[in-house]
Chain A
């Protein structure tokens, strides 16, 4: 390049175009796939309708970016902290201690024959993952404003990555369960093989709520303030600190419409060898999938305005 610059401008320019032309001639001469492929546009940009399908194939082609976004979130989460990843354990552990003191000792809530600390920890594990991941996921789009206005990729990856990073914390906190179970002489039963079902449901429910809130947050910044409240209320409406059997029978059906009910109960039951309530699990699955579908479609609808209003 430096040699060309010493020549006249026009000359450099014509040389540049000549070599570009030469290269194109080459591609024309080859009966290559490139030419065949370029008969159909690779991408068409058009104003889309109000409701759009979720483009799963596109999400799949961007899976590596999802991986990198999760990896980034995990890497930076505990940078410049003294305790590092121990925070993932401290949060459920100390909440468990407080719950044990208040609900078990003071309020005398029963825990279906399971030692209360173990009961609470098994409920807090999925709940804290859910609450934290929903919060970070709900803020994720607003925090990534610079990405959204500068480069294209499926926006769904942003809230999804925030949930993905939460899974790592969940795994760390899960490890703490082992000494607890040994200490309280809890025995595993065959139902532990069902554990993946409530875990997958937890992740899906987190995705649904996170995606929904993140999209709303772009337009209504109230979300940021509403989420902590919402999570607090939701926790007391879910069997985290108490068993659902503590509720009168006539409220059970309404109660189980909260998708967290079946999930948390299922998680605890398959871990601690209690009988599973399949009806509640079924309702939770149904509600979770419905929420996820609705949230994704709403997200797709709002997505095209993100860059303009964020």
Chain B
């Protein structure tokens, strides 16, 4: 059995197929004709992917990658290096040919440096082609569990995922691209699952995306038990509708996280009581220049229209760290997660943030919507006051802040006094409390909101909030986990915002427990020694 991080629930059984299989082991011999032919074939694959994908941004990336694979300067270097028949191992030669460019792009930083991963992918596709290892772009013809080290946007674009039963990656964390794609497709996925690349193609595995378990050659009994449990959870989710409430009638507002109009539609579909987090980065990331106020007004208006009469929490631009926007985060930062990101952008791009707030006020004017506006990465009471002042001045009445840094959580009495509400961004709060990069799968045992240290930070902040009667919610991945959601409720959280796909399940689970049970589970988790102990103690009380 292999254990990883379950990032999209569901139980399936099927044969596996490896994509972008393990790096070619041993030398890869080839002559120049073979290398050039393989390069052209890599380029053709990329062209085909570019044609087949609808997303305009991905199309451009794939098109540019194809041009890189046909780059005359690279070909020139290769031709100069492989002169006498078959080279014993072309890998160092290929690395040499692309390496200089990678160094230059890295040195340029920002947008340019991001292209390095595109080049890495071309290299690995080229080497795999020469080594005879089937590469991404493989067409699945029967229901298959797709296994990979990690799936890049280009991989998932190249793969025909219609027949994908589940996605299984040996690397990556809960917020990796694979997780997002799988949840979008509604298929189970596990990431950070070490060892799965050792499986041979065709091996039959059971994938339990809820628990992160992979079982090779599963027994009938095991399949039946796990499938049944999964069905029960799904049935409970389907049987309850309406606003979120506990079995004792306590209201827990259930909201959807969204970044696009499609996400908002998905939230409407699952009966979300509003949008608890609208990420505004996409509009900025999708374009090479700052979107105009008019473009922003158009997008926000659409959101308000779809959510007429409901609560919509819009987060101001959270550029930086893992979401750099080239024309804003232009300076290379040694430590971007701790750098100028979120609200801190007012230090460098103040006008961009002001224009966004203007656009929000303009879009909301005269609309039937409960607009709440919140700032990301607010650390201090002064920042909170600055933000709230700007929001109120524009006639918007509900300014709030994300509580996602230890400073904001520990100092929440003063920070929240400046605003109307707080929202825990559990992904970043976990990363900062645990001082562990959430994208690094080697640290995945420490990047979970189940850790008592994280829960304590949340507990301190929600107690402070309760004393001054400011509502606090959660808008991170943690809210999408039924057990953790119940613990958060027990800590004093009154609204939960999550990916729309997770909402029905959380609603179903919350309807099966009362507030007292949630509080007991929260206390048990707070006093645990480790994340796993916190989870098992809470589980015992909640599923009891």
The judgment on whether A and B are partners is no
